[in-house]
Amino acid sequence: SSPSHDPHLAMTDKEFDAVWVTYFNKPDIDAWELCKGLNTLVGYDLVPEQLNEVASAVHILEAVKDKAGPHREIYPYFTQELRPTLNELGIFTPEKLSLDNV
């Protein structure tokens, strides 16, 4: 369906957030549902605030790199600013994991 017919667009910000918080907080969420939700949010130019999982964090970094597109300076700046947190949490970038060559 086209974005103009998207039911999420008729929601308030608070309602929209509540739907996605509930979605990502499901105790039995699996990898497929996680990726589906992330891909949907990336389509809205959004990413969830936190997911508490290393694989999810790397997926979000991949999405940011992809969304930066031709603006090649954005992703390095983004990872530079996140470097202390990435190091503290033991999260490697997709490049460090060689995922950028897949």
- Residue among 36, 96, 45 at smallest CA distance from 68: 45
Structure tokens given for 75: 């992703």
Q: What is the CATH number of domain 49-101?
A: 1.25.40.40
Q: What are the pLDDT digits (tens) for 29-42?
A: 887 888 788 888 87
In terms of pLDDT, which residue wins out, 62 or 101? 62
Q: Nearest-CA neighbor of 34 among 15, 18, 19, 48?
A: 48
Side chain identity at residue 98, one-letter code: S
Domain ranges for the chain: 49-101
- The pTM of this model reads 0.52
* pLDDT tens readout for residues 78-88: 899 999 999 99
